[in-house]
Amino acid sequence: MTPTFRRPDPQTVPLLLMTVVTGIVEAASLLGLGHVFTAVMTGNVLFLGFGLAGEDLSVVGSGTAVVAFALGALGGHHVNLRLVERHGVRWTPVAVAGVAVLLLAAALTALGLPRQYGAPTGRDLLVIAVLALAMGWRNATTLRLAVPGLPTTVLTRGFTGLFRVHAALDSRERQLAAAVAMTAGAIAGALLLHLRPAVPLLVAAAAELLSAELFRREAARPAVSRGPDGDHRP
């Protein structure tokens, strides 16, 4: 019996690029804006708890990120719903481009800011808030896309899935690729941070916009290549 060739999901490449963006953004926020996460809320909740317990961590910084992320997720769900109603299967590139615009706004706000090793300043907090808002919307978007193994911000479940006995090969490949992508983003962000926090954020905005363009090109492909549910068929 001839094995059936399965084309990779067309969303894989832009989602992996968005995972790289997460690594860049977290490098800029954690290492350059005062030890605060803006995409990985597990870390922020822990930092918030440690800070409330008296450790030398910014309660205000972590709290700002958590609140802004929640607002971004809440608003993102509503905006994405409207985009689906208006654009149908072409909603994704619009949503991802919106996240890119927020990342660009954060980068422009960060222009001139030095790398911050201590508690975030008022302007740092503004950048943190805009970044977390963007990442909240991003997470609402990837949650709606629901591509297994590619949430773009959380790797814990993916790492666990790598060692699942009966995991599908393509699922393992996506989970491993996501880990590599986030590591690459973290390395790039940490290196770019030597040029001040605005630089990695500008790169992150550009990469997110490129992801939106990849989604747009995929959505523009002829409908004959799609099944009735909008999925691609080989």
> 232 phi and psi, to 5 degrees?
-80, 150
pLDDT digit string, tens, across residues 131-174 = 999 999 999 999 998 887 677 777 666 556 566 545 554 667 77
pLDDT digit string, tens, across residues 3-29: 443 455 778 899 999 999 999 999 999
CB atoms within 10 A of CB 113: 19
pLDDT score recorded for residue 161: 59
Q: What share of the chain is helix, strand, coil (3-state, %, to 5)?
A: 70, 0, 25
The Cα diameter of the chain in Å comes to: 65
Entry pTM: 0.86
Contact 36, 62 (CB under 8 A): yes
Site of tokens 């393509």: 170
Query: Residue 229 pLDDT more than 50?
Result: no
- The CA distance from 184 to 19, in Å, is 9
Element (H, E) at 191: helix 169-192
3-state secondary structure of 33: strand
User: What per-residue confidence (pLDDT) applies to 4?
Assistant: 43
For Cα atoms 185, 106, 146, give the angle at the middle one, nearest 5 degrees.
Answer: 55
Residue with tokens 């609140």: 67
